Structure 1
Amino acid sequence: MPAPKKILIDCDPGIDDALALTLAHGCPALDLVGITTVGGNVSLELTTLNALKLREFLGFPSVPVVAGSAGALVASRIDASEVHGFGGLGAAVLPEPRLKATDGHAVDFIVDTLSASPGEISLVAVGPLTNIALAVRREPRITEWARDFTIMGGSYTRGNRTPAAEFNIAADPEAAAIVFGAGWTVNQIGLDVSLTALANGPILDRMRDLGRLGGELLIPSLEFYGMTTAHDGPAVHDALAVAHVADPSLFEFTPGVVDVETAGRFTSGMTVIDFNLRGRVPNANVARSIDVDRFWDLTLSSFAQVEARLP
């Protein structure tokens, strides 16, 4: 059996971020080496607090959690508390953490961690791309040091924050433009695919069998999430980016050139994707579909591993 893939997750917990972290911790194919936080779904103070709560509740206390950027590079800060709840985890109430975040800034942690293990760590971003953009600006070589780079963000059809823009990109369009223009190939998983993987009734029923994990985190957060998202059940957007690192064969991708709109009156934050290329060099592999059944099998089996080890 191959060694687990090391994974560093930049996130803004957030309900779907919580599921992504649970998947990363429970999946035997992955080794979670660090968590960095950014202001997004809720404030930086709350995203960091939620990451610390999840670390202790799920049982990986030795994994560093490092706080990063509170707001966007240029734009005014927005959040999605109307979707994730005031605290960010819906109706889930987790114990207050005993351990603190690691000192320092997320940007420095990302650069230092990747530079110490070039080619070994998969970088995943499932929130606004502010930390990643600042890391690229500080040290452009991270684009070479990362084993690969996967985001949940954008779309090639429509948005959810606005008709044109998905939330993570809309929250900091300038940062997203820097990231897509940094010279690496971004594995982009957008709304077009994430909205096909829903935590519908049968999936929630399977989660109800997961003891404390199901009863204290998964069900209360997802049922809250479901009241404000897709009528067939909430999408678990961010978990798909982690699943891609664990098993890339779950997805079908098409190479494309992704440009981020930063100035449009109605389209700021839109990802404009050219699949025709016309001689242009792709800067992204854009997800076009996912094997939903296999995704849920991977995710729920990983959740079961977490439940079996809960402290």
Structure 2
Amino acid sequence: MHWPTSLPLLCSTILPFVTGSLALPKARSNKHYAIMDNDWYTAGFVPYLIALDGGVDVLGLASDTANSWQPQVALHAVATLEAGNLSCIPVYPGATWPLINTPERFQAWETIHGKLPWEGAFAPENKTLEAQGNDPTSGNPNRIVKEAFKEGYPKGKPDNSTSAANFMVEMVHKYPGQVSIYSAGSLTNIALAVRMDPQFASLAKDLVIMGGYVDLNMLEATGSIMLADYQSDINLMIDPEASKIALTADFPEITIAGNVANQVFPTKEFVEEVASVKNPYSELFSKYYDLSFPFWDETAAALMVDPSLATNQTSVYLDVDTSYGSPNYGNIHVYQKALAPGGIRQVNYVFEVDADKLKNRVKHALQYPKTCADLKK
């Protein structure tokens, strides 16, 4: 799906993407590893299936607070891995709380600057919705809502031997230049890793995130509530301070799947085609994937696996607004080099992907998912 009200403004300033300044460090082998950090949910398994299907060795999953609280999403990660015989992939719990933000602080900001159509984990607590199978928001962040585990409540637990941030640091030192850090939720764990170890970011292969929308304010104001919902940059807004730390760190390359993540939608026909090959993941996808929303997290995962999926991209300097008094708190602002302030860095901003190739990656990953038996070969 294209956004005619916003993309001309962006495309008028597109420059050729320059790769020279973002060259990756020379890896010791061609092996591609990834740590995938997300606010996992019942149908949230597609990104790691895409990675595995693309030959990426997923070292572990990390959980974060974004759409729901971290303890709940960590159990979703364990449960969805169990559903497809992938429990050999560990799940490491991340930070439950953002660096500064809280539901109360977030809702106070909304009182001044206006409500978001999607508030993620910071939406007011709603016991009625939870009883109907929704993940928890606000309230006690450690409570678990079992009704939300439509994939089945997990038998196992996350690996509490270390934290998500510490695991990331350990792995980039073990495999320097070979580990992609994927984030489709808040950037809290990544910011903590950056602050824990000054070498962390530079030792990674790259950072690929879902989030970071640009120039969509008029679309939010003149479109439907659902259209405004698509532009809710909750992954960054849950923890703006962490977003700034992560997106200004010295990763060899940062790829932003922002506006482009709204481009490709599933259809009923697509879901039926996926379901024609029966396995636990294709069945869960056909039952629980919401056709109202685009392939958000899947787009970022596919770009991590195959950067050539991007058909339109540019190199820009990017900053995150961390002024609590700003209506753009938690949103990004982009610059050309000559006008950029100090302390920010160049990123790869993707505008458009090959929709057919993306859908084919999603379909193949779901129809022929890897299992632990495959990964041990």
Supply the distance in 2 between the matched residues of 1:308 and 1:64 (Cα, whole angstroms): 14
Aligned to 1:208: 275
1:94-105 alignment to 2 at 5 Å? 94-103=151-160, 104-105=162-163
Q: In the aligned structure 2, how far is the partner of 1:162 from the partner of 1:277?
A: 31
Q: Which structure: larger Rg?
A: 2
Q: How far is 1:220 from its partner?
A: 2.2
Mapped to 1, the partners of 2:40 and 2:354 lie a distance apart of 25
Q: Secondary structure at the match of 2:255?
A: strand
Evaluate the alpha carbon distance shift between residue 179 and residue 154 of structure 1 in structure 2; reply closer, same or farther with a 3 A threshold: same
Cα deviation, 1:264-286, whole Å, max 9, x if unaligned, reads: 43211111112x32265742110
Contact 2:271 2:286 (C-alpha < 8 Å) held by counterparts: yes
Matched residue SS, 1:10: strand
SS of the equivalent of 1:96 reads coil
Q: How does 1:71-82 map to 2 (within 5 A)?
A: 71-77=97-103, 80=120
Post-superposition shift, 1:243?
0.6
> Which sits farther off after the overlay, 16-25 or 164-173?
16-25
* Cα distance in 2, alignment partners of residues 41 and 94 from structure 1: 17
| CA contact 1:92–1:220 (8 Å) conserved in 2 | no
Stretches of structure 1 that go unaligned for 5 or more consecutive residues are: 227-232
Listed one character per residue, the Cα deviations across residues 183-218 of structure 1 (whole Å, up to 9, x for unaligned) are 23311111x101111112222221221324356410
Letter matched to residue 58 of structure 1: G
Give the Cα–Cα distance (whole angstroms) in 2 for the partners of residues 176 and 309 of structure 1.
33
> Once the two structures are superposed, what CA deviation does each residue of 1:141-165 show, in whole Å capped at 9, x if it has no partner?
1111111111111111227887975
1:148 aligns with 2:206: yes
Matched, 1:5 2:32: yes
Q: How far apart are 1:96 and its partner, in Å? A: 2.4
Match of 1:229 in 2: none
Q: Secondary structure at the match of 2:368?
A: helix
Give the whole-Å Cα distance in 2 for the aligned partners of 1:303 and 1:170: 30
Aligned pair partner of 2:51 in 8, 24, 28: 24
SS in 1 for 2:338: coil
- Kept after mapping to 1: 8 A contact 2:272/2:286: no
**Residue 243 in 1 paired to residue 302 in 2?**
yes
Partners of 2:42 and 2:149 within 8 A in 1:
no
Counterpart position of 1:176 = 243
| TM-align CA RMSD | 3.0
Tell me the CA shift for residue 17 of structure 1.
3.5
Q: For residue 265 of structure 2, what is the aligned residue in structure 1?
A: 198
- After TM superposition, the structure 1 stretch with the greater mean CA deviation from structure 2, 203-212 or 118-127, is 203-212
Change (3 A) 1:309 1:46: same
The answer on 1:132 being equivalent to 2:159 is no
Q: Is the 8 A contact 1:14 1:47 kept in 2?
A: yes
Partner residue, 2:321 = 261
Moved more, 208-217 or 169-178: 208-217
Name which of structure 1's ranges 57-66 and 13-22 shifts more when overlaid on structure 2. 13-22
Tell me how far 1:99 sits from its aligned partner.
2.3
Q: 1: CA distance between counterparts of 2:230 and 2:56?
A: 35
Alignment partners' CA distance in 2, 1:163 and 1:265: 21
Question: Contact 1:90–1:220 at 8 Å: present in 2 too?
Answer: no
What does 1:157-176 correspond to in 2, within 5 Å?
157-158=215-216, 166-176=233-243
Quick one: which amino acid aligns to residue 271 of structure 2? L
Q: Distance in 2 between matches of 1:74 and 1:309?
A: 38
Give the TM-score taking structure 2 as reference length: 0.72
Please name the residue that 1:93 is paired with: 150
Deviates more, 1:138-147 or 1:256-265: 256-265
Q: Distance in 2 between matches of 1:94 and 1:16?
A: 8
- In structure 2, C-alpha distance between the alignment counterparts of 1:298 and 1:64, rounded to whole Å: 24
Seen in structure 2, the aligned counterparts of structure 1 residues 304 and 215 have a Cα distance that, compared at 3 Å, is closer
Percent identity, aligned pairs only, is 22
Give 5+ residue unaligned stretches, structure 2. 1-28, 107-118, 124-128, 137-145, 221-226
Write out per-residue CA displacement over residues 232-259 of structure 1, whole angstroms, 9 at most, x where no aligned residue: x421211111111211100132111111
Specify the alignment match of 1:46 in structure 2: 72
The match for 2:331 is: 270
Query: TM-score with structure 1 length normalisation?
Result: 0.86
Q: CA deviation at 1:309?
A: 8.7
What is the Cα deviation at residue 262 of structure 1?
A: 1.5
> How many equivalent residue pairs?
299
Letter of the 1:87 counterpart: D
Report what 1:303 is aligned to: 366
1:230 equivalent in structure 2: none
Which of 266, 281, 284 is the aligned partner of 1:217?
Answer: 284
Which range moved further: 265-274 or 70-79?
Answer: 70-79
